[in-house]
Structure 1
């Protein structure tokens, strides 16, 4: 895979009404580990099993290294969600598995701290990343997958204009168990100017 010129420059900062998205940095460790720790029971049912050193600084450094590799290779763009006022960390959202050529697509994944769930922050972040994927990266399609019982995630995707395309059986190993996932996608033609504003 070749790197696009975009990835050789600084990553963009995406700013909405209530959230600001930027690439994770080593200095975010304290906020990240605190939010993930307090939200563990909220997040674990929807994520791969946490490793014993999940919240350690050594694991954090490796995570930042993987983010940087993805950026350098042009295969992924990680963002952290912060409040526009006060710079509080709300969660994270990543456009990964970016494929060029005939595909021009990427996969969306996200998490949010328990105390910030259900307040529309992730909804705004998804909209910002999808718009950037289409307008900034010139992708044609953004995909996402979620466990059908994760009603919060289903609601976020559907409100953002994603359409359900089917079910992938035993798709990802989540919290130690192979889980079916609903597959969602949005294509550039779906994002009309009216939807961009909404």
Structure 2
């Protein structure tokens, strides 16, 4: 899928160097929204290790990881994941995403999330997709709203972000009302 000169594709080990580069460049901008990271996280070796773990989760059916890359090139400019995938009576997954600051405002997260929601419903048969944002992450809330997510509550001290436990708003989008496995 190509959006404004950017392609969203499945994560692969070949993306390790590009992820390390973009994460290092965006380190300060992402700090208020991310858990504390080791220096290794910002290296190609650290990203390769992380990718291998994510691909194991993918192979186990628990994660669908994507990257955004410049069309026709290999420069990584963001990522989106559908994780914590559960079937059976829950039939749900959670989405997370980030985009290089230089590419903000171009509709990439909105279009990418629309594709992930489509795949969650049509390819995985999930009943719902959930997301969480810090209480002041209005840009992410707009992305979720544009994709039909509704706020369902507040989770006090939900995640340890940037050195402290942070409150998060919880969102979901119900995709269908069919019986699981039907």
TM-score of the pair, normalised by structure 1: 0.83
Q: Taking structure 1 as reference, are residues 33 and 158 closer, same or farther at Cα in structure 2, changes over 3 Å only?
A: same
What pairs with 1:33-72 in structure 2 (closer than 5 Å)? 33-72=20-59
Residues 83 and 95 in structure 2, CA contact (< 8 A), matched pair in contact too: yes
Cα shift at 1:27: 1.9
Structure 2 residue aligned with 1:116, among 92, 98, 103?
103
* SS of equivalent to 2:82: strand
Cα shift at 1:26: 2.1
Residues 16 and 128 in structure 1, CA contact (< 8 A), matched pair in contact too: no
The separation in 2 between residues aligned to 1:68 and 1:54, in whole angstroms, is 17
Structure 2 residue aligned with 1:81, among 68, 79, 100?
68
1:29-72: CA deviation from partner (whole Å, max 9, x where unpaired): 23212211111111111111111211123212210111111012
The separation in 2 between residues aligned to 1:69 and 1:29, in whole angstroms, is 15
2:175 aligned partner: 188
* SS of equivalent to 2:32: helix
Residues 105 and 143 in structure 1, CA contact (< 8 A), matched pair in contact too: yes
> Where do 5+ consecutive residues of structure 1 fail to align?
1-14, 191-198
What pairs with 1:138-153 in structure 2 (closer than 5 Å)? 138-153=125-140
Residues 35 and 162 in structure 2, CA contact (< 8 A), matched pair in contact too: yes
Q: Taking structure 1 as reference, are residues 63 and 151 closer, same or farther at Cα in structure 2, changes over 3 Å only?
A: same
Residues 118 and 152 in structure 1, CA contact (< 8 A), matched pair in contact too: no
Residues 148 and 154 in structure 1, CA contact (< 8 A), matched pair in contact too: no
Cα shift at 1:16: 4.3
The separation in 2 between residues aligned to 1:33 and 1:150, in whole angstroms, is 24
* SS of equivalent to 2:38: coil
The separation in 2 between residues aligned to 1:124 and 1:156, in whole angstroms, is 9
> Where do 5+ consecutive residues of structure 2 fail to align?
178-182
Structure 2 residue aligned with 1:24, among 11, 14, 36?
11
Structure 1 stretches of 4+ moved >4 Å: none
TM-score of the pair, normalised by structure 2: 0.90
* SS of equivalent to 1:50: coil
